[in-house]
Structure 1
Amino acid sequence: MKLSVIGTGYLGATHAAAMAEIGHDVVGIDVDPAKVASLNAGVVPFHEPGLPELLTAMLGTGRLRFTTDLAQAADCEVHFLCVGTPQRKGELAADLTYVDAAVTGLLPHLAVGSLVAGKSTVPVGTAARLAALVEARGADLAWNPEFLREGKAVADTLHPDRIVLGVTSERAEKVLRDVYAPMVAEGSPVVVTDLPTAELVKVSANSFLATKISFINAISEVCEVVGADVTMVAEAIGHDVRIGHAFLGAGLGFGGGCLPKDIRAFMARAGELGADQALTFLKEVDAINVRRRARTVDLAREMCGGSLAGMRVGVLGAAFKPDSDDIRDSPALDVALGVQQAGAAVRVYDPHAMANARTAFPTLAYADSAVEACRDADVVLHLTEWREFREMDPAALGEVVRQRNVVDARNALDRERWTAEGWTHRALGRRSI
């Protein structure tokens, strides 16, 4: 089939390459000429494992190309909307500027009988509003939310754990089943529903995950008061099949471009609909998440004798999660700034997010390696659980620091190994060793 993918960020670039991989003829469309040129040259303008290789291979087949010209979508059978929906400045609500602009720009090029499939995360009710515009051109609109995880986007797109089709006609359902035929044949479950339900699936999933993370971090706060170990609590309750171990890693909490802004937009939309009381618990979910950042700064201060003024702090991590260079709402950089504002000299290192961090936070100092970031440090903060940091030799790192103090804000380091090398170890929700 001939497909267009409008918006070529994490979601769009990955979706476009994956659709070409399963045999479709795909044109990716973006308003950013530099991004389009980069993708056409086989260069992914962000870090996503496996995507550069897939992109290069698909460009070589001739089934994938990128352009800034929406008119090149005119002969496509399906148009996927993959543009961003960031949080509005100064508000909780989602900014739908890019979604509206994409649809408005696409309308003159829609063929009768074609299908527009939204993948962007939008407030419930958005699809119905857009459907009226699309149907006036003789086309259909469906909502087909994405569930990819940064760092695992390629696998999540090619082998989805579910495919949700929010449709208003049998024709739209058939077209999307044809698009995803290889995934369906592989066994990916298909959930067919209406537009508002499909819109709610994604924000409900993100809200549940955020709640689970904040729940174990709330338990972490109690553990710190009573001297319990949150990792053991999580291990024990995770064996309950009704709970499970996933997303029970207590620590610095969530960040990135999805969970924080999506739960806030969900609350805002519920308020607009008069159902705000249903989601008031998400305010505390958000608050717990933010408190973990402040607590990490407090732990660093405690390890430095009660004051960070004049202290040297090595920060390991800038991305909001490993296997990504995304620094949007990064807990790691939030903590780094908090430590700096408390008077410390901070040096940051991250395997892939350095360029983005330097651009967004030029007041921080950066190092070219983990060792250099920690040289002469009074305390080391482990803030993003990259494999490089988890496997670091604490004895070797101990040779370059001024004091062997480490705050493991992700509860990912081998505590026994580090303490055996003379490090004082602190972690969120665990007793000091």
Structure 2
Amino acid sequence: MSLKVSVIGTGYLGATHAACMAELGFEVIGLDIDQAKIERLAEGLLPFHEPELPELLRKHVASGRLRFTTSYAEVGEWADVHFIGVGTPQRTDGQGADMSYVDAAATSLARHITRDALIVGKSTVPVGTARRLEALLAEHARPGVELSLAWNPEFLREGFAVRDTMTPDRLVFGIGTIDSEAMLREVYATALEAGTPVVVTDFETSELVKVAANAFLATKISFINAFAEVTETVGGDIGTLADALGYDARIGRRFLNAGVGFGGGCLPKDIRALQSRVSELGLSHTMGFLAEVDEINLRRRDRVVHLAEAMLADELAGAKIAVLGVSFKPDSDDVRDSPALDVATRLFNAGAEVAVYDPKGNANAARRFPRLDYCDSLYEAVDGASLVLLLTEWEEFKALQPGDLEPLVRKKRIIDGRNVLDHAGWEASGWSVAAMGRRYPNP
């Protein structure tokens, strides 16, 4: 393949994209301003957990198709297509997206690219960003160098990122020129030959696709959690309700799982950034429902804390609580805006002794909140516990049976924050079980 590819930003998105582009046969260079991160990646070491990616990284560092640098000059002289995959975190002074990393990447690329090239945005950005970046690129490009821009949003699921990159369920190309589309089709030739649907559109639509998808998923999760609040009050089976809804082809069953709510580095900050952006556009009421989606989600954390207080009654201060899972989802070590970690820290601040076990997330959680007791195994965490909280649905936890824990716990009490256990079976074994969507006395 003739095209040479660069990826700007080597975090979760960038490192995955770089390794997968190498797997597709391209020569790839990844750039980051963090020297320590670059050195680790050059040794084949990832700073985060993602299934299948470590093997792919080591394979192509060894093959020579993938290398890393901190030099924009090196990247600008070498690559034909430059993917921008830097972060757009929530601003510290509001709900909008912090665009400083994207702007810095685009400006630095423009100043260092020495020949005509295509710049492709993959970061999740507020609508209108691509049009603004076109002007920024034109302002900083070298004389005689033509820089084209395209927007190609990512749709990666943590835990499935390699699969989602190699065999995407759709590709979206926001293009400004026909040449941009041709180069993107060359980059994604393997997926297109396999029949992956492609949507070719304008910048604005391509920018909105990702935030619209995340807003819809967040709304669906909060929708079933709002009904969980109802069944917690009047009774009923939230799981059966979700199953019945899921049979309707217009609705579907996925993401209708009542639980402690969503978290991570995408859904929470993206729905807040969308609200902020539409308000800037004079449409302050258009996405107002997302504020309630966010609020419902946060109330689920309150519910778990209240359930713990109710189950422990006067025993909370000094009681040992075992928290199973602190990553925001299974198959990930990401604890950003994690409902599980939030609940664990709140119970600790209320006076409980909180023992945490997560198959992959302990280290990241300890960096954010080091005062919890992080355990090396599930059984260490539950030993002597007066209450067990299942807050991340790792397969290891879903497979638990009452007899696995009974010899270790002090009291047979459990909160199923993800509705993954056989509640009737646990109760038949003498356990007191609370869960999202089930009636339980409030404190």
Is the CA contact 1:424–1:432 (under 8 Å) kept in the aligned structure 2? Answer: no
1:266 paired with 2:274, answer yes
Counterpart pick for 2:124 among 117, 121, 125: 121
Q: Tell me how far apart the structure 2 counterparts of residues 322 and 147 of structure 1 sit (CA, whole Å).
A: 18
Q: Tell me how far apart the structure 1 counterparts of residues 93 and 334 of structure 2 sit (CA, whole Å).
A: 22
3-state DSSP of counterpart to 1:279: coil
1:88 is aligned to 91
AA in 2 matched with 1:68: T
Is the CA contact 2:153–2:172 (under 8 Å) kept in the aligned structure 1? Answer: yes
1:105 paired with 2:108, answer yes
AA in 1 matched with 2:290: L
AA in 2 matched with 1:40: A
2:187 is aligned to 179
Q: Tell me how far apart the structure 1 counterparts of residues 88 and 129 of structure 2 sit (CA, whole Å).
A: 12
Q: Tell me how far apart the structure 1 counterparts of residues 253 and 105 of structure 2 sit (CA, whole Å).
A: 39
2:149 is aligned to 141
2:412 is aligned to 404
Is the CA contact 2:392–2:418 (under 8 Å) kept in the aligned structure 1? Answer: yes
1:279 is aligned to 287
3-state DSSP of counterpart to 2:68: strand
1:56 paired with 2:64, answer no
Mapping of residues 5-404 of structure 1, within 5 Å: 5-73=7-75, 74-136=77-139, 137=141, 138-305=146-313, 308-404=316-412
AA in 1 matched with 2:62: G
AA in 2 matched with 1:118: G
Q: Tell me how far apart the structure 2 counterparts of residues 221 and 102 of structure 1 sit (CA, whole Å).
A: 44
State the Cα deviation string for residues 354-411 of structure 1 (Å, max 9, x = none).
Answer: 1111111012121111111111111100001111111123212111111000000000
Q: Tell me how far apart the structure 1 counterparts of residues 177 and 88 of structure 2 sit (CA, whole Å).
A: 26
Is the CA contact 2:81–2:117 (under 8 Å) kept in the aligned structure 1? Answer: yes
Measured after TM superposition, the shift of residue 309 of structure 1 is 2.0
AA in 2 matched with 1:165: F
Is the CA contact 2:22–2:66 (under 8 Å) kept in the aligned structure 1? Answer: yes
Measured after TM superposition, the shift of residue 306 of structure 1 is 5.7
Is the CA contact 1:312–1:344 (under 8 Å) kept in the aligned structure 2? Answer: yes
3-state DSSP of counterpart to 1:277: coil
Is the CA contact 2:324–2:378 (under 8 Å) kept in the aligned structure 1? Answer: yes
Number of residue pairs matched by the alignment: 433
3-state DSSP of counterpart to 1:278: coil
State the Cα deviation string for residues 13-58 of structure 1 (Å, max 9, x = none).
Answer: 0000101111111000011111111111111111000001111112
Measured after TM superposition, the shift of residue 341 of structure 1 is 1.9
Is the CA contact 2:234–2:439 (under 8 Å) kept in the aligned structure 1? Answer: no
Q: Tell me how far apart the structure 1 counterparts of residues 409 and 181 of structure 2 sit (CA, whole Å).
A: 60
**Superposition RMSD on alpha carbons, in Å?**
1.3
Q: Tell me how far apart the structure 2 counterparts of residues 385 and 353 of structure 1 sit (CA, whole Å).
A: 13
AA in 2 matched with 1:249: N
3-state DSSP of counterpart to 1:406: strand
Is the CA contact 1:332–1:383 (under 8 Å) kept in the aligned structure 2? Answer: yes
Q: Tell me how far apart the structure 2 counterparts of residues 43 and 310 of structure 1 sit (CA, whole Å).
A: 40
Measured after TM superposition, the shift of residue 431 of structure 1 is 4.1
Q: Tell me how far apart the structure 1 counterparts of residues 187 and 114 of structure 2 sit (CA, whole Å).
A: 18
State the Cα deviation string for residues 241-261 of structure 1 (Å, max 9, x = none).
Answer: 000011001101100000000
Q: Normalization by structure 2: what TM-score?
A: 0.96
Is the CA contact 1:144–1:166 (under 8 Å) kept in the aligned structure 2? Answer: yes
Measured after TM superposition, the shift of residue 68 of structure 1 is 0.9
Q: Tell me how far apart the structure 2 counterparts of residues 337 and 208 of structure 1 sit (CA, whole Å).
A: 29
Q: Tell me how far apart the structure 1 counterparts of residues 369 and 128 of structure 2 sit (CA, whole Å).
A: 36
Q: Tell me how far apart the structure 1 counterparts of residues 314 and 336 of structure 2 sit (CA, whole Å).
A: 30
Q: Structure 1 stretch 108-117 or stretch 51-60: which is displaced more? A: 108-117
Q: Normalization by structure 1: what TM-score?
A: 0.98
Counterpart pick for 1:424 among 407, 419, 432: 432
Q: Which consecutive residues of structure 2, in runs of 5 or more, have no partner in the other structure?
A: none
AA in 2 matched with 1:234: A
3-state DSSP of counterpart to 1:276: coil
3-state DSSP of counterpart to 2:414: strand
AA in 2 matched with 1:194: D
State the Cα deviation string for residues 132-183 of structure 1 (Å, max 9, x = none).
Answer: 1224531101110000001100000000001000001111011101100000
Q: Name the CA shift for 1:140/1:391 in 2 (closer, same or farther; >3 Å).
A: same
Is the CA contact 1:86–1:94 (under 8 Å) kept in the aligned structure 2? Answer: yes
State the Cα deviation string for residues 166-210 of structure 1 (Å, max 9, x = none).
Answer: 001111011101100000011111000111111111100000000
Q: Structure 1 stretch 59-68 or stretch 202-211: which is displaced more? A: 59-68
Is the CA contact 1:47–1:325 (under 8 Å) kept in the aligned structure 2? Answer: yes
Q: Tell me how far apart the structure 1 counterparts of residues 68 and 277 of structure 2 sit (CA, whole Å).
A: 34
Is the CA contact 2:173–2:198 (under 8 Å) kept in the aligned structure 1? Answer: yes
Q: Tell me how far apart the structure 1 counterparts of residues 181 and 357 of structure 2 sit (CA, whole Å).
A: 47
Is the CA contact 2:307–2:440 (under 8 Å) kept in the aligned structure 1? Answer: no
Is the CA contact 2:328–2:336 (under 8 Å) kept in the aligned structure 1? Answer: yes
AA in 1 matched with 2:237: D
Q: Tell me how far apart the structure 1 counterparts of residues 70 and 245 of structure 2 sit (CA, whole Å).
A: 51
AA in 2 matched with 1:289: N
Q: Structure 1 stretch 99-108 or stretch 156-165: which is displaced more? A: 99-108
